[in-house]
């Protein structure tokens, strides 16, 4: 199927892959693409909007796009040296340096919780999602839903959060519950609007392994995650997490997660082994390193890595070619293009498996 302007429709391949079926072509996707990269690819200097993002993704041969709900209530904070800083509605403080957002600290206090009102029914939150659904009909649209752990951790600040799981466990559970209730409603609205899948963004691990012990995962994280998965059961639910989550995969499968995004290779996520063990249970997305390979590697090395990754992960369907986190502004344009071109060349089914 071809659009009038000559753009090949790849939505069908992405739909098959996200349901662990074999498509004609390995679909390409990423959780985000930096505005600076879009400007360079599109040869423009004007601000990026959703229409331009969609055009850029078509140029890269993507077949799935993330639709993000909007945060509200951002408050600017004075900073020295003319830097821009703000505290968002969750209590997370960030500073902007050269267009890049850096986390500073958490500002949420225990006494603030009852006064916090994260309203999921504000219409403005879904402005961008509606626009994506309107203009990206040739894509699979995956609606993002944030994490309870990530929001609580950064709202309080890591030191405070990890102290509180021992000293104030009841407060942590209340905080996670309130955040979770918000995200459940957001996800339900996204599904009503027509997204094809849900992406849960919930970083659960360092490069060396999970942030929390199995006991604390069982007590604090799995209950809220299970509630979200169950609430969104009508459509596939994909978890995004950086780090080495190998030790969590059995639990995630039992909870009902349909797929995993990131599969960070520099954190020890062996996509070949994961495919062998979980390929009949999980959609796999990612494993192309965006930290070193796509920023400092050669075009030849990118091509070799993509070809080998497809051979390991794509047989029988259920794989999306994607980076290990997102297409940030330090990614080399030549390497990004090499990733996409190689995916198109070697991602045709039947896939030649690795030896």
Mean pLDDT of 327-355: 93
Residue 129 lies in a domain: yes
**Phi and psi torsions of 128, nearest 5°:** -70, -35
- The token duo for 34 is 């930096």
pLDDT tier at 355 (50, 70, 90 boundaries)?
low
Looking at residue 31, what DSSP letter applies? S
Rounded distance between C-alpha atoms, residue 353 and residue 337, angstroms? 23
Mean pLDDT of 37-51: 97
CA dihedral 73, 111, 186, 133 (to 10 degrees): 20
Instruction: Count up the domains in the chain and report the number.
Output: 1
What CATH number does the domain containing 37 carry?
3.20.20.210
Residue 202 lies in a domain: yes
Mean pLDDT of 210-223: 98
Are 137 and 110 in contact, with CB atoms under 8 Å apart?
no
pLDDT exceeds 70 at position 8: no
Q: Which helix (H) or strand (E) holds 310?
A: helix 299-313
Residue 39 lies in a domain: yes
pLDDT tier at 226 (50, 70, 90 boundaries)?
very high
**pLDDT, tens digit, for every residue of 227-255?**
999 999 999 999 999 999 999 999 999 99
Residue 111 lies in a domain: no
Nearest to 79 by CA among 49, 46, 102: 102
How large is the greatest C-alpha to C-alpha distance in the chain, in angstroms? 62
Residue 105 lies in a domain: no
Looking at residue 220, what DSSP letter applies? I
Mean pLDDT of 202-214: 96
Query: Percentage of residues in the chain with pLDDT exceeding 90?
Result: 91
**pLDDT, tens digit, for every residue of 72-85?**
989 998 877 767 89
Residue 257 lies in a domain: yes
Q: How far does CA 48 lie from the centroid of its chain?
A: 20
Residue 51 lies in a domain: yes
* Per-residue pLDDT at 111: 93
Look-up: residue for tokens 């302007």?
5
Residue 262 lies in a domain: yes
- Mean of the per-residue pLDDT values of the chain: 95
Rounded distance between C-alpha atoms, residue 98 and residue 208, angstroms? 30
Range of the domain at 149: 11-70+117-346
């Amino acid at each position: 199927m071809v659009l009038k302007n000559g753009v090949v429709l790849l939505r069908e391949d992405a739909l098959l892959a996200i349901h662990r079926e074999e498509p004609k072509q390995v679909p390409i996707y990423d959780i985000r693409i930096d505005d600076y990269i879009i400007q360079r690819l599109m040869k423009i200097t004007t601000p990026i909007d959703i229409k331009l993002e969609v055009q850029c993704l078509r140029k890269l041969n993507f077949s799935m796009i993330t639709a993000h709900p909007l945060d509200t209530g951002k408050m600017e904070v004075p900073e020295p040296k003319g830097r821009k800083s703000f505290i968002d509605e969750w209590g997370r403080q960030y500073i902007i340096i050269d267009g890049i957002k850096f986390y500073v600290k958490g500002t949420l206090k225990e006494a603030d919780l009852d006064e916090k009102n994260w309203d999921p029914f504000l219409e403005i939150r879904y402005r961008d999602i509606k626009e994506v659904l309107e203009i990206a009909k040739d894509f699979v649209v995956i609606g993002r839903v944030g994490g309870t752990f990530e929001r609580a951790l950064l709202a309080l600040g890591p030191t405070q959060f990890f102290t509180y799981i021992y000293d104030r466990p009841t407060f942590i559970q209340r905080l996670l519950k309130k955040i979770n209730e918000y995200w459940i409603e957001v996800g339900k609205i996204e599904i009503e609007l027509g997204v094809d899948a849900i992406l849960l963004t919930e970083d659960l691990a360092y490069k060396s392994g999970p942030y929390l012990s199995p006991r604390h995962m069982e007590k604090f994280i799995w209950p809220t995650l299970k509630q979200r998965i169950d609430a969104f059961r009508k459509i596939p639910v994909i978890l995004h997490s950086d780090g080495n989550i190998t030790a969590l995969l059995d639990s995630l499968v039992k909870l009902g997660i349909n797929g995993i995004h990131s599969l960070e290779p520099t954190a020890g996520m062996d996509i070949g082994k994961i495919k062998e063990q979980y390929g009949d249970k999980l959609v796999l997305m990612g494993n192309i390193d965006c930290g070193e390979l796509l920023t400092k590697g050669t075009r030849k090395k990118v091509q070799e890595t993509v070809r080998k990754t497809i051979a390991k992960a794509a047989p029988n369907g259920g794989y999306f070619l994607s980076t290990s986190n997102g297409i940030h502004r330090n990614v080399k344009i030549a390497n990004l293009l090499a990733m996409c071109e190689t995916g198109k060349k070697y991602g045709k089914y039947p896939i030649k498996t690795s030896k």
